[in-house]
Amino acid sequence: MSLYVPHFLNRHAGDYVETLDTTLRDGAQGAGVSFTLEDKIRIALKLDEVGVDYIEGGWPYSNPKDLDFFKAMKEYSLTRARLAAFGSTRRKGVRPRDDESLNAIVKADVPVAVIFGKSWTLHVEKVLETTWEENLAMIAESVEYLREHGMEVIYDAEHFYQGYIEDPERALESIETAWRAGARVVVLADTNGGTPPHEVYRITAEVKRRFPAMALGAHMHNDIGCAVANTLMAVVAGARHVQGTINGVGERTGNADLTAVLPTLELKMGFRVLRDEPPPVKFGRLRELSRMVYEALGRQPNPYQPYVGDFAFAHKGGVHADAVMKVPRAYEHIDPALVGNRRVVVVSEMAGGASVALKAAEELGIPLDKRHQAVRRALEEVKRLEREGYSFDEAPASALLILLKHLGLYKERFRLTEWRVVTGPTPAAFAVVKVKVGGREMLEAGEGVGPVHAVDVALRRAFTAAFPELLRVTLRDYRVVLPTTVKSTESVVRVTVEFTDGERVWRTVGVSSNVVDASIKAIVDAYDFALQLQSLKKAAEVQGVGHLA
């Protein structure tokens, strides 16, 4: 896919930009973020596989768990990344060899130290309550002390942009002090995240003009929603070292999201990042890492996240889907495969025939013309159901079942004829379901934690007894939402379930004023979809056509 890159962004095309990931340190400072020791080790090893240059593992002086992490990492070999310990410059009036924070970095026994110091006179005078001269001595002596212990030093100039705006010469003096003391990289930090992109570009460019030989880095926070943009502008202005976190986790509103920064630097701006491997490999691993971090935090991945989100390349409008089928780059800024993602066509009330036809081709291996009568009738039914509270955006398998029925390709494999649920004051619930398979009726019971679980147990027993191939099919996710304004306890609820057979994943939906009934509809659709796929696959194998074969 050809990419348009403005000339002023492309003048350093081919330059390598090194990456420091601070998910395990700065990311862990975010509210609601907590990593176990095992989480930190798994994420660090994945970061190394992805190909970042530095992994900032934590602040050993402030957090004993971080010191445990550095000890535990001695059992593992990193192939690309260098492990870094974080800390501050020495305290005022304390010699470096007596400073506990600096010595904790040394005891971490890692090759790289990242230390922060003050660039803003406000912090020196009002927070540290010391003189500017003492501040400069704290910076220089701390860098020198760590260098004497054989460590590479990366210096983070805290609040640099705020300090530069108020007193440019002193802010510049602070970073020059760190550089001349032996810091390999001087990182300009927008610590309160309040600097707009044009100012980041202007100030970073001025620093580069003043110190052309200084290796500059960028560390941006997201308080005004500009962390990614600010990081990119800093690189355009001359920085060749970027810091950020996976998924943008971090203090307050977070840090620059590396899952957006890194692909943009390479695919849009012509720089090189991570390993010297093709984009589908390295950025596909970045998507896997994004999921791993969400999992460690117990959070659902953000489907709208640029590049790595499930909906990053989703097309809902009929006009969009029609255009993408003809010319993908008409509505896609890159090929989704470059970042390990894929195109998603959403079937909904806004969809056109092209959306349905593309979905049928991709998911079912059935080539269809968008003007096919079955496509039109399926769309009419989808739109009618959405007016009743259904949503097929995240449950396309239910929409595909509707299409199969209108195409005459649907084969009824079973019919749920009756169900009953008994609950009481305890979490335990009991369910009975009656399923008709062919001419035979089956009655199954189930016990579970709550009525939905009990019904699922009973349904699974009935379906797998009749169709043993469904033993591979399992529930992965279950969600309940109120699609309309709550008016009473009779309000309609929508249930979406996600199932997998180990190879494919599909989602179905059910709607009712009864949450158990809505759940049953969604679960029955999920098992039904699995059986329909198998029927289509067998037919394709017999005919020797279709991608399901």
**Residue pLDDT, tens place only, 430-459:** 999 999 988 889 899 999 888 889 988 999
**Residues recorded for the chain:** 549
Q: Could you tell me which residue, 537 or 361, shows the higher pLDDT? A: 537
Q: Given the structure tokens 């009738």, which residue do they identify? A: 377
pLDDT value at residue 70: 95
Q: Which pLDDT belongs to residue 293? A: 94
Higher-pLDDT residue of 105, 34: 105
Please give the pLDDT value at position 334: 87
pLDDT grade for 391, boundaries at 50, 70 and 90: confident
The confidence score (pLDDT) of residue 548 equals: 40
Give yes or no for residue 387 having a pLDDT over 90: no
pLDDT of res. 274? 93
Q: Above 80 in pLDDT, residue 168?
A: yes
Q: What integer pLDDT is reported at residue 510 of this predicted model?
A: 92
State residue 149's pLDDT score: 97
- The pLDDT value recorded for residue 51 is 94
The closest of 233, 228, 387, 380 to 307, measured between CA atoms, is 228
The pLDDT of residue 396 is: 85
What are the phi and psi torsion angles at 269 (to 5°)? -115, -5
Res 416 pLDDT > 70: yes
Q: Which pLDDT score is estimated for 1?
A: 39
Q: What is the mean pLDDT of residues 485-512?
A: 81
Whole-angstrom Cα distance, residue 195 to residue 227?
A: 9
Mean predicted confidence (pLDDT) in 302-331: 72
CA distances from 155 to 208, 271, 403, 519, 520 (A): 16, 23, 60, 55, 58
| pLDDT: which is higher, 343 or 341 | 341
Confidence of residue 111 (pLDDT cuts 50, 70, 90): very high
Mean per-residue pLDDT over the chain, rounded: 87
- Chain segment 187-245, per-residue pLDDT in tens: 999 999 999 999 999 999 999 999 999 999 999 999 999 999 999 999 999 999 999 99
Looking at residues 30-39, what average pLDDT do you find? 90
191 in Cβ contact with 223 (< 8 Å):
no
> Mean pLDDT, to the nearest integer, of 15-42?
93
Residue 244: the pLDDT is 98
d(CA 115, CA 92): 15
pLDDT score of 11: 57
Q: Quick one: pLDDT at residue 2? A: 41
pLDDT of residue 130: 94
Residue type (1 letter), 355: S
Tokens of 480: 């309940």
Task: Report the C-alpha gap between 218 and 210 in whole angstroms.
Answer: 17
Residue 111 is classified by DSSP as S
Q: What is the pLDDT of residue 476?
A: 85
State which of 157-161, 282-286, 371-375, 434-438 shows the largest mean pLDDT. Answer: 157-161
* More confident of the two residues 384 and 220: 220
Residue 50 has pLDDT above 90, yes or no: yes
pLDDT at 307: 94
Would you state the structure tokens that stand for residue 65, as one six-digit string?
């768990």
d(CA 448, CA 417): 21
pLDDT for residue 21? 98
Within 13 A of 487's CA, how many CA atoms are on the CB side?
7
Alpha carbon distance 275, 285 (integer Å): 11
Q: What is the pLDDT of residue 392?
A: 79
